[in-house]
Amino acid sequence: MRILFVGDVVGRSGRNAIAEHLPGLKRDWKLDLVVVNGENAAGGFGITEAIYHEFIDAGADVVTLGNHAWRQKEALVFIERVGALIRPLNFPKRNPGRGAAIIEAKNGARVLVINAQGRVFMEPLNDPFTAIDFELEACKLREGADAIIVDFHAEATSEKQAMGHFCDGRASLVVGTHTHIPTGDYRILAGGTAYMTDAGMTGDYDSVIGMEKEEPLSRFVTGLSTGRYEPAAGAGTLSGVAVEINDATGLAMKIAPVRIGGRLEETKPGFWP
């Protein structure tokens, strides 16, 4: 099974990168499943229903979120109508939507996609380890699902690495989102789970984590907030990670970073044509 995970889409630049590159990648790489993190897609904060459908039309099979899930208030409503949009599993129980979903891949496989949010340097949500453990035990790899993907939306690299080891052997892929910088530690863990601390953002890297440079620089230099953060509008890089899954075990055989377009050096998986 061939899976592409695309990191946080930031603003129009990121959306343009999705529209430009994703349809061709899905066709040329014969992808069975595409996951896109869309929590920064609408002006850098949140997602709208129109943008969600743009991603689905471009080839995404499921869209994950994060700490900005509800910044566009319409998401509180439309998330209940669509089946392939998931928010962090460990949000308080009364939040709308769901934090995990079984998605049918192109090859007919059942893929459990889980979205959870970390707590280190972030909001004190419910314990993500307990929440994910419950899902992994309730829908075990090769019993309830043919593959399992965990999008762990977290700030601290230590918490992300801990989650990777916590899920090792029980998930196909654990990948971090939120910090918007692609990491070089992509690998397959001892138990067979593919892991990468952060998939990076899909957006303009001539920026401060996707935002126009002036306001973040001003805040760092002066300590004062003088305006709003605005998404950078230059050419976007599609960033993410490609994984090939063993159909018999549900565990990973290959993993590679993906960076296409924009300012970063292009990187594609050498194991797909």
From residue 194, give the alpha-carbon distance in Å to each of 33, 148, 254.
Answer: 15, 11, 8
Within the chain, strands assigned E span 2-6, 33-37, 62-64, 85-86, 100-104, 110-117, 147-153, 173-177, 187-188, 194-196, 238-245, 252-260
Q: Is residue 219 part of a domain?
A: yes
Name the domain count of the chain: 1
153 is catalytic: no
Q: Is residue 268 part of a domain?
A: no
Per-residue pLDDT, 11: 97
Three-state SS at 267 = strand
What tokens appear for 206 in the block? 């001539």
> Which of 68, 153, 178, 180 is flagged as catalytic?
68
Give the number of C-alpha atoms closer than 13 A to the C-alpha of residue 11, restricted to the C-beta side: 21
| CATH number of the domain that residue 134 is part of | 3.60.21.10
> Tell me: the pLDDT tens digits for 14-67?
999 999 999 999 999 999 999 999 999 999 999 999 999 999 999 999 999 999
Q: Is residue 128 part of a domain?
A: yes
Q: Is residue 265 part of a domain?
A: no
Q: Is residue 111 part of a domain?
A: yes
> Tell me: the pLDDT tens digits for 127-153?
999 999 999 999 999 999 999 999 999
Its pTM stands at 0.97
Per-residue pLDDT, 191: 98
Domain that holds residue 42: 2-260
Q: Is residue 54 part of a domain?
A: yes
Give the number of C-alpha atoms closer than 13 A to the C-alpha of residue 125, restricted to the C-beta side: 25
Q: What is the mean pLDDT of each run of 10 residues along the chain (273 residues)?
A: 98 98 97 98 97 98 98 97 96 96 97 98 96 98 97 98 98 98 98 98 97 95 94 97 98 98 96 89
Q: Is residue 272 part of a domain?
A: no
Per-residue pLDDT, 273: 82
Q: Count the helix, strand and coil residues of the chain and give each as a percent rounded to the nearest 5.
A: 25, 25, 50
Q: Is residue 271 part of a domain?
A: no
The partner residues of 101 in beta bridges, in order of sequence, read 113
